[in-house]
Structure 1
Amino acid sequence: MSEDKALFDKGLPIRRAVLGTDYVDNSLARADEFMMAFQRATTAWAWGWAWGDDTLDRKTRSLMNLAMLTALGKAPEIKLHVKGALNNGLTVDEIKAALLHATAYCGIPAGLDAFKAAHEVLVAEGVLPQKKSA
């Protein structure tokens, strides 16, 4: 078995556990031959190699991802990884603290985008109450 295939096989259950089986399986099912190259790479490298290393626990990795994605300004990925952070056992307060820490280093505009993205997911997931209209 090739190393990439072994890493893919190691990463796929981790990816499913963090991001959700439906999300991952739908991503794989929608991928044509061109996009499947990316699906194989991200599953093997990000999930098999990086997330598959047990030196850091999943909660720590989720916190790191939220900070890095804030720095990169990747709101759609922040939404995905907020759900993953919840799946990994992070609390709303831990997610908020990570985003505030990232805001201090990345700037207010990046932090605002991250907070808006996270808030949308946290409300949708029912862990934050939806503010009632007046």
Structure 2
Amino acid sequence: MELKDADKEMFETGLAIRSAVLGKEYVDKSINSADAFNQPMQELVTEYCWGRVWGRDGLDRKTRSFLNLAMLSALNRPHEIKVHVRGAVNNGLTREEICEVFLQVAIYCGVPAAVDSFRLAKEVFAEMDGKA
């Protein structure tokens, strides 16, 4: 698929933000392992999610990470929770702040959702601390 100039620019913006938040290695692996089937999804996510939404000025990256952790917990998306816990740390959230997000999730989305999110975050923290 050939991207138009404006789309290419937004894709590059999204790629830079996505790499800064999630880590270049993770993003490169996602982009480089794309095939004809899922390449359109990688382009969509990078251009629209990361370029057009994360690239907006209305919220800072830390606030967007707070929101993502809560929404992904509510939606029970374990893979994305793990990815975004690491991204949240990259965006300046402390472990205490992440704890507070998941406590809020427990009240408004249910204890099971929060329990899973705490467990997933502990796995990410162990990996980050070199204990996994």
Give TM-score scaled by structure 1 length: 0.90
Equivalent-residue separation in structure 1 for 2:80 and 2:63 (angstroms): 17
1:69: how far off? 0.3
The aligned residue for residue 110 of structure 1 is: 113
The aligned residue for residue 50 of structure 1 is: 53
Structure 2 unmatched runs, 5+? none
Q: Identity of paired residues, percent?
A: 50
Structure 1 unmatched runs, 5+? none
Give TM-score scaled by structure 2 length: 0.92
Equivalent-residue separation in structure 2 for 1:40 and 1:108 (angstroms): 35
Question: Does the 8 A contact of 2:105 with 2:111 survive in 1?
Answer: no
1:125: how far off? 0.9
Over the aligned positions, Cα root-mean-square deviation in angstroms equals: 1.4
The one of 77, 81, 86 aligned to 1:78:
81
The reply on whether 1:59 has 2:62 as its aligned counterpart is yes
Letter in 2 for 1:104: I
1:2: how far off? 4.3
Instruction: After the TM superposition, list the runs of 4 or more consecutive aligned residues in structure 1 that deviate by more than 2 angstroms.
Output: 1-6
Letter in 1 for 2:39: M
